[in-house]
Amino acid sequence: MNNLLDTPIEYLKGVGPQRGDLLRKELNIHRYGDLINLYPNRYIDRTRYYKINELQNSNSEVQIVGKVIHIKTVEQKKGKRLVATFVDDTGEMELVWFQGQKWIRESLKINTPYVIFGKTTSFNGLFNMAHPEMELVEEHKASLRSAMQPVYPSTEKLANKGISNKVINKMMQQLFIETHSLFTETLPTYLLEELKLIPKNAALFNIHFPKSQELLAKAQFRLKFEELFFIQLQLITKNLIRKHKIKGHPFEKVGDYFTTFYNSHLPFDLTNAQKKVLKEIRNDLGSNAQMNRLLQGDVGSGKTIVGLMSMLLAIDNGFQACLMAPTEILASQHFVGITELAKELNLNIKLLTGSTKTSDRKIIHEELENGSLHIIIGTHALLEDKVQFKNLGLAIIDEQHRFGVEQRSKLWKKNEVPPHVLVMTATPIPRTLAMSLYGDLDVSVIDELPPGRKPIQTVHRYDNNRLKVWKFLRDEIAKGRQIYIVYPLIQESEKMDYKDLMDGYNGITRDFPLPQYSVSIVHGQMKPSEKDAEMKRFAEGKTNIMVATTVIEVGVNVPNASVMIIESAERFGLSQLHQLRGRVGRGAEQSYCILMSGHKLSNDTKTRIETMCATNDGFEIAEVDLKLRGPGDIMGKQQSGVLNLQIADLVKDKDVLMLARHHAIKLLKDDAAMEKPEHQTLRKVFIELGKKKSIWNYIS
């Protein structure tokens, strides 16, 4: 059967070369098999017949059985319209036509039962339907259409070229005729029985031609489960293979650097979460396999110290370590932080970014190659071919979703044996996404803040409460605290945003005048040196208020800053709001985040603002964000190709994903090579999928 599904799409009756070409370009449909997997977006339910007195003003499509009892032509400003009175035993409504009136008038039968279908709208208490689809009841009963009508994904180009929904539906019928709907079962029998899944044949038939809501639901469940199940099999297998095949350097001892730092130089006691994560990392590093671990922790949860201690383990075992960050600001921040933490340890730590001087680079390259440089921190500059290590044992990648996969693999190639990898992120990723995107990484989470941190209080204020907010700022400054005021800056509206920022800044300098107050400003049009100088003044406490665009989201650490004001908060995404809020609350004092907005807010915006006020938990926030935005947006550009799922939805089908993962793990524990007789078909499908250049190639 399967070779038939490889037939090029133009050979399907009713398609041909021109349509075939369009389907390829517009919907990526190359073969019969691709068309089968073009699932409908939604369905029009023709199983239900409405009575006229049940109609709602909901603009949805309904079908009604009744008769036309009267037809008239009504003059209007431009041309005329044809109006028919349509009745059933509960009431009456109007059918309206603006085109084709002569033909309709001639063909309409009075007092004969019709089934009409279309969108209803209410006007002066009377429902009407414009240009209804009409069918005589006796013909309607005889036709072979499925009661739930599928609506397929389409594009403007397809519609313009006459490939309408009806045409796609016809192609689909033809495909089922040609293939005799004999599709190979892909799942083992025991799974179908245990989960009461319908067979593959029935599922594919009912996703395209469902006879009822119930059959449709069964088909959707079966196909969603299958899709997620194969993704999980692939990811978990990858993880198992890596642990067996990819040998890592075992770090056998915990030596002087680690012990000295732990016993004498820790600036504060580690939280239980940090201890737990370090233990997981030490187990990985001590085994013979390469570590590939994702470390998630909210802003300020103390990931850096865990990173440093992992690097000390590498150095204790005679290896070098590197830390790669996506921006120069972030790289230099890590450099300053780590140099400060390790200052008593007599280690050679250097920073390498795009702006490192050539003379310094030369020294760095030499020291990396002769092994005297212990830790290198940098940006993409670390990936250049010139950068060679004597023996790189651990690579830490910060905020990895900003690095593409090719970039990461460059780090691997710098060694005979690939280094251990620790990926750190302060963007909490909801569990469902983490399981699908990083299913082949082991995940650690730091889910508690260091002691002595008070949760930030977040409130929402409208623009007309500004006087009260400013009074609050004066009180905080009087206590010796500092303030951030952030303005949105979005490329599309950059000029307007820049004007708002400058107007805001001028207003603030008027309301907080010298010499009593001092205000800094940082924005994208300043030179890097000017930005750094302003940041420095603020960090040293010389200015009370820092007015900035979002450039400070990965900015400096100012423990004394206790208030974050976000202007036009309605224009920021949830994760951005959460990241910005994380700039305060770094000292022992109570900190505040004030979200300022206008009165006009959409429902999504209200949800975002309410979520921010209700919780400081990054994971909770990420879950809401995922619901509002969907997985594609959250992962950003490089990763968006990762999950071109055909039917499952990571947000709505969380339970199906958990179920699929559970069964995938169970199966692989029992039969990792899928060699048992009952897994033969499964193995075949699995190998086929591995060859396809679809999802798997994107996953690290």
Average pLDDT over residues 542-564: 80
Q: In the structure encoding, which two tokens stand for residue 1, read together?
A: 């059967």
In DSSP terms, 547 is beta-bridged to 485, 521
Fold that domain 457-615 belongs to in CATH: Rossmann fold (3.40.50)
Residues 6+ apart with CB under 8 A from 560: 480, 481, 482, 541, 587
Average pLDDT over residues 499-511: 92
Cα(551)–Cα(571) distance, rounded to whole angstroms?
15
Provide Rg for the chain, Cα atoms. 32
CATH ID of 256-286+302-425, from 3.40.50.300, 1.10.760.10, 3.20.20.370, 3.40.50.620:
3.40.50.300
Distances (CA, A) of 34 to 6, 610, 658: 9, 43, 27
Residue 122 pLDDT > 90, yes or no?
no
Nearest to 470 by CA among 507, 500, 499: 507
**Confidence grade of residue 586 (pLDDT, cut at 50, 70, 90):** confident
Contact at 8 Å (CB) between 398 and 334? Answer: yes
Cα(593)–Cα(583) distance, rounded to whole angstroms?
10
∠ CA 692-3-678, nearest 5°, is 75
Q: In the structure encoding, which two tokens stand for residue 349, read together?
A: 């730590």
Q: Which amino acid is at 430?
A: P
Question: What HEC string does 109-161 produce?
Answer: CCCCCEEEEEEEEEECCEEEEECCEEEEHHHHHHCCCCCEEEECCCCHHHHHC
In DSSP terms, 444 is beta-bridged to 295
In DSSP terms, 442 is beta-bridged to 293
Least confident interval from 355-369, 399-413, 593-607: 399-413
Residue 254 pLDDT > 70, yes or no?
yes
Residues 6+ apart with CB under 8 A from 565: 469, 473, 483, 484, 485, 486, 593, 594, 596
Average pLDDT over residues 257-274: 93
* DSSP letter, residue 29: -
Cα(443)–Cα(440) distance, rounded to whole angstroms?
9
What single string gives the DSSP state of each residue in 493-545?
A: GHHHHHHHHHHHHHHHHHHS-TTT--EEEE-TTS-HHHHHHHHHHHHTTS-SE
Output phi, psi for 373, to 5 deg: -95, 120
371-406 per-position pLDDT tens digit? 999 999 999 899 888 999 999 999 999 876 555 556
Residues 6+ apart with CB under 8 A from 472: 563, 592, 594
Cα(365)–Cα(350) distance, rounded to whole angstroms?
11
What does the pLDDT read at residue 697?
A: 35
144-179 per-position pLDDT tens digit? 566 788 999 988 889 888 898 889 999 999 999 998
Domain boundaries, the chain: 47-144, 256-286+302-425, 457-615
Q: Give SS3 for 320.
A: strand
Give the sign of the dihedral formed by CA 469, CA 470, CA 476, CA 478. negative
Residue 565 pLDDT > 90, yes or no?
yes
Nearest to 169 by CA among 61, 46, 3, 62: 46
How far, in whole angstroms, is CA 235 from its chain's centroid? Answer: 18
Q: Which long-range contacts (CB under 8 A, 24 or more apart) does 389-393 make?
A: 389/320, 389/322, 389/414, 389/415, 390/320, 391/318, 391/319, 391/320, 391/415, 392/319, 392/320, 392/321, 392/322, 392/419, 393/249, 393/251, 393/314, 393/317, 393/318, 393/319, 393/320, 393/321, 393/419, 393/420
Least confident interval from 319-328, 339-348, 551-560: 551-560
Task: Please report, rounded to a whole number, the percentage of residues in the chain having pLDDT higher than 70.
Answer: 92
* DSSP letter, residue 222: H
Q: Write down the pTM of the prediction.
A: 0.66
Q: Give SS3 for 295.
A: strand
Cα(404)–Cα(65) distance, rounded to whole angstroms?
58
What does the pLDDT read at residue 267?
A: 85
Domain at 47-144: CATH architecture: Beta Barrel (2.40)
What does the pLDDT read at residue 636?
A: 45
What does the pLDDT read at residue 638?
A: 38
Mean pLDDT of the chain: 87
Nearest to 251 by CA among 393, 392, 443: 393
Residues 6+ apart with CB under 8 A from 89: 51
Report the phi/psi class of residue 14: left, alpha or beta, with left for phi > 0 and alpha for psi in -120 to 50: left
Assess whether the region 47-144 and the region 256-286+302-425 belong to the same CATH fold.
no
